[in-house]
Structure 1
Amino acid sequence: MRRDEPNGGVGASRRALLGTAAAMAAGRLAGADAGVVVGEPLAIDGGRPAVTLAAARQVEASRWPLYGPEDEAAVLDVLRNPGYGPIDDLERDWRDYFGAPFAKAHCNGTSAIAAMFFALGLPPGSGVMVPSYTFFASIVPMRLFGLVPVFVDVDPRTLNFDVDDARKRLTKDVKALMPVHWMGLPCPMDDVSAFAREKGLILLEDVAHAPGASYRGKLLGGWGRMSIFSYQSSKPLPALEGGMGMYQERADFERATAFGHSDVPARFPADSPYKRYAGTGLGLKLRMNPMAAALARAQLGRLAPRNASGAAQVRRLNDRLAQLPGLIEPPCPADAGRIYYANNILFLDEARAGATRAAIVKALRAEGVQAREHRYPLQHKLPLYAEAEWWSRKPEIPELPGSEQANRTAIALPYFTSEAPELIDQYAQAFEKVWAHRSKLS
């Protein structure tokens, strides 16, 4: 399988279109503010909604996962020829695609994370820096091995790991850190890596949201000593369930694999300290279902073009929306190849927009836009972390203003997974209409 650079041409296309989009949007908005372009009242005031496509068409435009004949054939082949070969095939293709020396498939992303934390072999009480703005699976498996989360804030405009905040929270107990590439946007891995090297910390990566995304020409997952991916059905590479652990060092691979795979240690080299655990493993069975592996492998073959197509479609919308005062798109470095997952997240500066998030979302929904106020549960505020009985050392519960700001300002739009140019145009017109009348919303 050829190792493709993700989002090929997307950055160049974005730059080429940006000037034209900016000029067109500015002209539309200027005319709208002057009462020239938008002559109708807002839908909440009795006007005609800007989005006129049928609701069923909107649902279809963001339907996920998308499976085709290749996926059906891959699963059917496993039914006709039962066996575990598809797992080995997926792992081989994964290593080739990502240029990784070691990879091990797991039954889901959470089990891949648990195996990775086990592979660290750190003493109880060791801290692992991780954002609170993440799914529980990035954190809770730590407790099984005596590890303790050290909650780090996120940049409120990217939702990604804040290195400056991490510096303030560093203690002698911290031994590792794990950024999460949120919603497909790469973390600033040069800064993260430099911080880890400077402080002697083990760098891990949670790439569940971002398979195929890159930073400075390097695919995500290859920056850390270990990394994990998820194939859960909502993810960019969906196999209904499944996960992958990727390892730069043989010792990590063998220890993580022995934790949940009783049969694989028999294939380790003779000098492996884990070969003797063939037949027992080290306690769990985390084998991936071979049908899911076959499905993931089929999806991997189309990952790069699908990521590029989705990112290009987001650009067609966001290059117009980014011209509206107070509406902010998460910045992506020019040398990063981002992808999208589940939502198209934007942020609202209420002072610059001249209206509240709640009022703008209400007006957009009346226009037919499937917008919502985006709030993500912050892990450090959940009961588990405040109860000492579950931890070798009770986690500190910090104030994380960046995470709080993100939850106050984020707006979620659908991520359109199939070509929908008419719907994108109507969404943009709805935003422009609302912005033209935004003084009435204040």
Structure 2
Amino acid sequence: MSRHFSNGGPGPSRRAVLGAAAVALAAGRRGDAGTLALEGGSPAVTLAKAAHAEASRWPLYGSDEEAAVLEVLRNPGYGPIDDLERDWRERFGAPFAKAHCNGTSAIAAMFFALGLPPGSEVMVPSYTFFASIVPMRLFGLVPVFVDVDPRTLNFDVADARRRLTPNVKAILPVHWMGLPCPMDDLSAFAQEKGLILLEDVAHAPGASYRGKPLGAWGRMSIFSYQTTKPLPALEGGMGMYQERADYERATAFGHSDVPARFPADSRYRRYAGTGLGLKLRMNPMAAALARAQLGKLDARNAAGAAQVRRLNDRITQLPGLVEPPCPADATRIYYANNILFLDEATAGATRAAVVAALRAEGVQAREHRYPLQHKLPLYAEPEWWHHPPTIPELPGSDEANRTAIALPYFTSEAPELIEQYTRAFEKVWANRAKLS
């Protein structure tokens, strides 16, 4: 990831920003703005690197977060964890929620809560972070790799139908980069085949599908509060559960103190003081940070999406440049990057040539290739699995890696930068015949 993360620092002054924009306009009047920077022309993006850094700075912490952390320092205790869980249940309409020390531990607890016999399989995209998959092996579960739609990077239900085996007991879609998966189709597929529907919402807290929050569709779901995520608490995670039995089993796995609070009829209450294996408690300072960020989540998600629209609504009019389609009845958010795709035949230039030209113009673009899990060594080594995972061909995932372009996701208002990015794209497209 090429984003800049910091806790603050002054950005470029308004005078400097306007001055740089004036220089760019003057260059355009002189007639050299139409010549590609690769050929000696003036770059379309004239704002300094500091402007990019400020526009994509993350996390955004302020006085609310400082006050929340100071309160924990002055009154040490684990109360902030309970407060976060209460607020989370209210915000997402979930009957049960449990904070964990990170998103990966929340996933591990979720797999444990399934209580499936060793050898059970879980369908999951290969186009994901390792944490969506690797904890399966701790409980004898085995991944079945599913392809993604190469234009959304999300779980391909049609491919899942082709790869279904008698051992598959659950499916785990990942809402990639904040774009909702087709949860109605996934729910129907799960119900038809008698599968448990789970959700990985690490990239998409606050997004929704058909008016229902992501994370509330599955029987269980997880969220991440890691520093780069849309709701950053430096580290932390949340498990969300629709059924009491899942909540109690997942909680007992990593929280020895909490079972004492379970109802008297809970089969897991007797494990108070020992738990069932690990200590996954969230740091109370991280919980306080997450709670402060939760109150700003919707406003920040909306502001970020609006900024992406100001850029993408213009540049996706260019031939061959497309963005992941979002259903009209879904609300997406953005995380880490603004991903676009290039149809080289329609554009008349290769991805490599387009990215090189954009970078010469000052655009922080790159060819986006995400490591595919099924191609990594762990999955080809039988010693780690109840039975070896099938290593498939996933053409959609490969196509995505051949065609995706990553742009920065601007987390703060940057109208001058967006305007300059737009001019850079238009300039490159006007000269794209030279790139071929």
1:367 is aligned, of 348, 352, 361, to 361
Alpha-carbon distance in structure 1 between the residues aligned to 2:188 and 2:45: 47
Q: Tell me which residue corresponds to 1:184.
A: 178
Q: Tell me which residue corresponds to 1:158.
A: 152
Q: Deviations over 1:181-222 (max 9, x none)?
A: 000000000001000000000000000000000000000000
After TM superposition, give the deviation of residue 273 of structure 1 in Å: 0.2
Asked whether 1:234 is paired with 2:228, we answer yes
Q: State the AA in 1 paired with 2:82.
A: D
Alpha-carbon distance in structure 2 between the residues aligned to 1:38 and 1:408: 33
Q: State the AA in 1 paired with 2:80.
A: P
Are the aligned partners of 1:260 and 1:286 in contact in 2 as well (CA < 8 Å)?
yes
Are the aligned partners of 2:32 and 2:42 in contact in 1 as well (CA < 8 Å)?
no
Alpha-carbon distance in structure 2 between the residues aligned to 1:132 and 1:361: 26
Alpha-carbon distance in structure 1 between the residues aligned to 2:49 and 2:255: 46
Alpha-carbon distance in structure 1 between the residues aligned to 2:217 and 2:363: 38
1:398 is aligned, of 371, 376, 392, to 392
Pairwise mapping of residues 282-293 of structure 1 onto structure 2 (< 5 A)? 282-293=276-287
1:141 is aligned, of 107, 126, 135, to 135
Q: Tell me which residue corresponds to 1:122.
A: 116
Using CA pairs under 8 Å that are at least 6 residues apart, name the structure with larger relative contact order, 1 or 2: 1
Are the aligned partners of 1:113 and 1:245 in contact in 2 as well (CA < 8 Å)?
yes
Which SS does the other structure have where 1:365 is aligned?
A: helix
Are the aligned partners of 2:197 and 2:218 in contact in 1 as well (CA < 8 Å)?
yes
- State the identity as a percent: 86
Alpha-carbon distance in structure 1 between the residues aligned to 2:263 and 2:197: 26
Q: Deviations over 1:61-116 (max 9, x none)?
A: 00111101000100010000000000000000000000000000000000000000
1:345 is aligned, of 339, 345, 348, to 339
Which SS does the other structure have where 1:151 is aligned?
A: strand
Which SS does the other structure have where 1:288 is aligned?
A: coil
Q: Tell me which residue corresponds to 1:81.
A: 75
Which SS does the other structure have where 1:330 is aligned?
A: coil
Q: Deviations over 1:368-403 (max 9, x none)?
A: 000000000000000000000000011000000000
- Structure 2: gaps spanning 5 or more residues: 1-27
Q: Tell me which residue corresponds to 1:223.
A: 217
Q: State the AA in 1 paired with 2:424.
A: A
Alpha-carbon distance in structure 2 between the residues aligned to 1:39 and 1:213: 39
Q: Tell me which residue corresponds to 1:332.
A: 326
Q: Tell me which residue corresponds to 2:56.
A: 62
Q: 1:441 to 1:76 in 2, by over 3 A?
A: same
Are the aligned partners of 1:211 and 1:220 in contact in 2 as well (CA < 8 Å)?
yes
1:417 is aligned, of 396, 408, 411, to 411
Q: 1:345 to 1:38 in 2, by over 3 A?
A: farther
Q: State the AA in 2 paired with 1:205.
A: E
Q: State the AA in 2 paired with 1:211.
A: P
Alpha-carbon distance in structure 2 between the residues aligned to 1:221 and 1:232: 17
Alpha-carbon distance in structure 2 between the residues aligned to 1:38 and 1:234: 39
After TM superposition, give the deviation of residue 38 of structure 1 in Å: 8.2
Q: State the AA in 2 paired with 1:352.
A: T
After TM superposition, give the deviation of residue 40 of structure 1 in Å: 2.4
Q: Tell me which residue corresponds to 2:194.
A: 200
Q: State the AA in 2 paired with 1:300.
A: L
Q: Deviations over 1:329-382 (max 9, x none)?
A: 100001100000000000000000000000000000000000000000000000
Alpha-carbon distance in structure 1 between the residues aligned to 2:212 and 2:204: 13
Q: State the AA in 2 paired with 1:141.
A: P
2:352 is aligned, of 351, 354, 358, to 358
Which SS does the other structure have where 2:169 is aligned?
A: strand
Q: TM-score under structure 1 normalisation?
A: 0.91
Which SS does the other structure have where 1:64 is aligned?
A: coil
Which SS does the other structure have where 2:184 is aligned?
A: helix
Alpha-carbon distance in structure 1 between the residues aligned to 2:151 and 2:38: 29
After TM superposition, give the deviation of residue 54 of structure 1 in Å: 1.1
Which SS does the other structure have where 1:95 is aligned?
A: helix
Q: Deviations over 1:251-291 (max 9, x none)?
A: 00000000000000000000000000000000100000000
Alpha-carbon distance in structure 1 between the residues aligned to 2:186 and 2:34: 49
Q: Deviations over 1:274-311 (max 9, x none)?
A: 00000000010000000000000000000000000000
Q: State the AA in 2 paired with 1:420.
A: A
Which SS does the other structure have where 2:345 is aligned?
A: helix
Asked whether 1:103 is paired with 2:97, we answer yes
Alpha-carbon distance in structure 2 between the residues aligned to 1:186 and 1:39: 39
Pairwise mapping of residues 301-316 of structure 1 onto structure 2 (< 5 A)? 301-316=295-310
Are the aligned partners of 1:38 and 1:433 in contact in 2 as well (CA < 8 Å)?
no
Q: State the AA in 1 paired with 2:167.
A: D
Are the aligned partners of 1:38 and 1:436 in contact in 2 as well (CA < 8 Å)?
no
After TM superposition, give the deviation of residue 126 of structure 1 in Å: 0.4
Q: TM-score under structure 2 normalisation?
A: 0.93
Which SS does the other structure have where 2:80 is aligned?
A: helix
Q: Tell me which residue corresponds to 2:15.
A: none
Q: Tell me which residue corresponds to 1:45.
A: 39
After TM superposition, give the deviation of residue 58 of structure 1 in Å: 1.0
Q: Deviations over 1:135-167 (max 9, x none)?
A: 000000000000000000000000000000000
Q: State the AA in 2 paired with 1:308.
A: A
Alpha-carbon distance in structure 2 between the residues aligned to 1:429 and 1:217: 36
Alpha-carbon distance in structure 2 between the residues aligned to 1:92 and 1:330: 34
Which SS does the other structure have where 1:344 is aligned?
A: strand
Which SS does the other structure have where 2:34 is aligned?
A: coil
The CA RMSD over aligned residues, in Å, is 1.1
Are the aligned partners of 2:179 and 2:326 in contact in 1 as well (CA < 8 Å)?
yes
